[in-house]
Chains A and B, each alone.
Chain A
């Protein structure tokens, strides 16, 4: 859990699949940090791993800092996996 979750991926901003994969990997690290669960992967459902609305906002905060994109709580509910959120980030850019 030593991955820096706040400054990686996404600064180039290109909504290509490579950027999306990098964003998804960065989000895996965020999921692991806020859920305190090293088992989270790119397709892990945040809520099935014990996440709730309070810590979901921490993911949104990390996305805003690390990727420069402000997603809403509803965006999160529609795509509560690292891969899904990476798609939302790409769409918002």
Chain B
């Protein structure tokens, strides 16, 4: 850490005058907006031909948009709420009225509410154990958690093998982890699982729709947040310009993209850990952003579009939980303004890898067939969209990178420490609401404060 703490300022005590931000997702654009507001000359370089990162809008009917990426927010997501208000965007509550469908371990059931037809005591034993792990985490510094070395070395799959005895708990645990954090239990350490649940507000908050992290959506789509931020930044945002390398010297940084070089006092890498490590750096950072076991968040989102949410006429909420994929859960994401009925299917964890390996035709057939079994009253969908985040080159997974065994102890202490003139942003650098839109925005604010504090 001492090398970073003693890093020289831009030029002998003068404040930072210019910055290159790499990545035009929520973290990068929040940082760019804050720096611009403080009079710093900013250039944002974005690899894709769109802004938004892991938020992305899909137009499913004229004027009707759904979220192909990050979608939900809750009242505790205060920085996101403030940003929405600033940008003139509104929220709309997630709808969850009616009965749920379950296909779990050969049992097909329709039940009121979201509680699955599984042994409640067995699920309670699972949640009691998860709550205990979650409560023990030091959220602002998970590597300082009591017993951190053991928890960081053990995968959630190993933990489940040892701790879960009832078949219903063993069946439900991977579904739960897939839904909460898009993780295959084999991919994450117990420490990361416990940290993620704690960072997001705890088991109840992270799991809940009403009164929880899925209470609302952004009316018209979460992609509008980045679009509006980018509109305000104007020509400072350059699309289709993937960054290849960042070189720094005593006086500044040179950011080399596929289209040219940009010189500035500092750089902000607002990228997930895996894409961040793909950027060549001179000098190299002392610790890479990802370790050998850091995995891609495993989420594929499937949108089944109907002219109207006809399942509601049959007393169904659209919510389902399924032991067999590809759609491990479904939820009603119909645009509030009408125009379409949209069921969103989540393909997560190990199932996402299997599904992502299929041809597009097979993916579509498998998703449509399963939806027809779950909701037999539905006609053929008029639209079917598949968004594979696992294989997105510039995200390399969604919701967020999965910290595997060893990651927190190795990377945690330098998670936010600047590498001389290079600062780090992105939801994976926020110990508050890690993996969520809220975490990305908070990381952008942190980076602005760091850069303003440089002299």
Please report A residues at the B interface, Cβ cutoff 8 Å: 34, 50, 52-64, 70-73, 76
Could you say which residues of chain B place their CB within 8 Å of the CB of A50? 211
Complex contact B211–A61 (CB within 8 A): no
Q: B113, B128, B207 — which one has the most chain A CB atoms within 10 A of its CB?
A: B128
Tier of interface size on chain B: 10 to 19
Q: A53, A70, A71, A72 — which one has the most chain B CB atoms within 10 A of its CB?
A: A53
Complex contact A64–B114 (CB within 8 A): no
Q: List 14 A-B contacts (CB under 8 A).
A: A52-B204, A52-B211, A54-B204, A55-B127, A55-B203, A57-B121, A58-B127, A60-B121, A60-B124, A61-B125, A62-B128, A64-B125, A72-B120, A73-B115
Complex alpha-carbon distance, A63 and B121, angstroms = 9
> Interface of chain B, helix or strand or loop or mixed?
helix
Interface residues of B in 100-127 (CB under 8 A from A): 113-115, 120-121, 123-125, 127
Take A50-B211, A62-B128, A73-B115 as given contacts and tell me if A57 and B204 are in contact as well, using a CB distance cutoff of 8 Å: no
Could you say which residues of chain A place their CB within 8 Å of the CB of B203? 54-55
Complex alpha-carbon distance, A50 and B121, angstroms = 20
Complex alpha-carbon distance, A56 and B127, angstroms = 10
The minimal Cβ–Cβ distance linking A80 to chain B, given in whole angstroms, is 13
Shortest beta-carbon contacts, A-B, top 4: A61-B124, A57-B124, A73-B120, A53-B115
Complex interface bits, B391-410 against A, C-beta within 8 A gives 1, otherwise 0:
00000000000000000000
Complex alpha-carbon distance, A53 and B208, angstroms = 10
Complex alpha-carbon distance, A76 and B211, angstroms = 21
The minimal Cβ–Cβ distance linking B85 to chain A, given in whole angstroms, is 26
Complex contact B114–A62 (CB within 8 A): no
Q: Is B131 in contact with chain A by the CB < 8 A criterion?
A: yes
Could you say which residues of chain B place their CB within 8 Å of the CB of A59? 124
The minimal Cβ–Cβ distance linking A58 to chain B, given in whole angstroms, is 5
Please report B residues at the A interface, Cβ cutoff 8 Å: 113-115, 120-121, 123-125, 127-128, 131, 203-204, 207-208, 211
Complex alpha-carbon distance, A59 and B127, angstroms = 10
Complex alpha-carbon distance, A64 and B123, angstroms = 12
Complex contact A57–B123 (CB within 8 A): yes
Could you say which residues of chain B place their CB within 8 Å of the CB of A58? 124, 127-128, 131
Complex contact B208–A61 (CB within 8 A): no
In-complex Cβ contact of A60 among B114, B120, B131, B211 (8 A)? B120
Could you say which residues of chain B place their CB within 8 Å of the CB of A55? 127, 203-204
Complex contact B204–A64 (CB within 8 A): no
The minimal Cβ–Cβ distance linking B218 to chain A, given in whole angstroms, is 24
Could you say which residues of chain A place their CB within 8 Å of the CB of B208? 52, 54
Q: B113, B121, B125, B203 — which one has the most chain A CB atoms within 10 A of its CB?
A: B121
Complex alpha-carbon distance, A58 and B128, angstroms = 6
| Residue in chain B with minimal CB distance to A76 | B120
| Residue in chain B with minimal CB distance to A75 | B120
Complex alpha-carbon distance, A53 and B124, angstroms = 10
Could you say which residues of chain A place their CB within 8 Å of the CB of B114? 53
| Residue in chain B with minimal CB distance to A51 | B204
Complex alpha-carbon distance, A72 and B121, angstroms = 7
The minimal Cβ–Cβ distance linking A68 to chain B, given in whole angstroms, is 11
The minimal Cβ–Cβ distance linking B194 to chain A, given in whole angstroms, is 16
Complex contact A61–B128 (CB within 8 A): yes
Could you say which residues of chain A place their CB within 8 Å of the CB of B120? 56-57, 60, 71-73, 76
The minimal Cβ–Cβ distance linking B217 to chain A, given in whole angstroms, is 20
| Residue in chain A with minimal CB distance to B206 | A54
Complex contact A62–B124 (CB within 8 A): yes
Complex alpha-carbon distance, A58 and B120, angstroms = 9
Could you say which residues of chain B place their CB within 8 Å of the CB of A34? 131
| Residue in chain B with minimal CB distance to A70 | B121
Could you say which residues of chain B place their CB within 8 Å of the CB of A76? 120
Could you say which residues of chain A place their CB within 8 Å of the CB of B211? 50, 52
Could you say which residues of chain A place their CB within 8 Å of the CB of B128? 58, 61-62
Complex contact A54–B121 (CB within 8 A): no
Complex contact B113–A64 (CB within 8 A): no
A-B contact sample (19 more), CB < 8 A, given A52-B207, A73-B120:
A52-B208, A53-B113, A54-B203, A54-B207, A54-B208, A55-B203, A55-B204, A56-B120, A56-B124, A57-B121, A57-B123, A57-B124, A57-B127, A58-B127, A59-B124, A64-B124, A71-B121, A72-B120, A73-B115
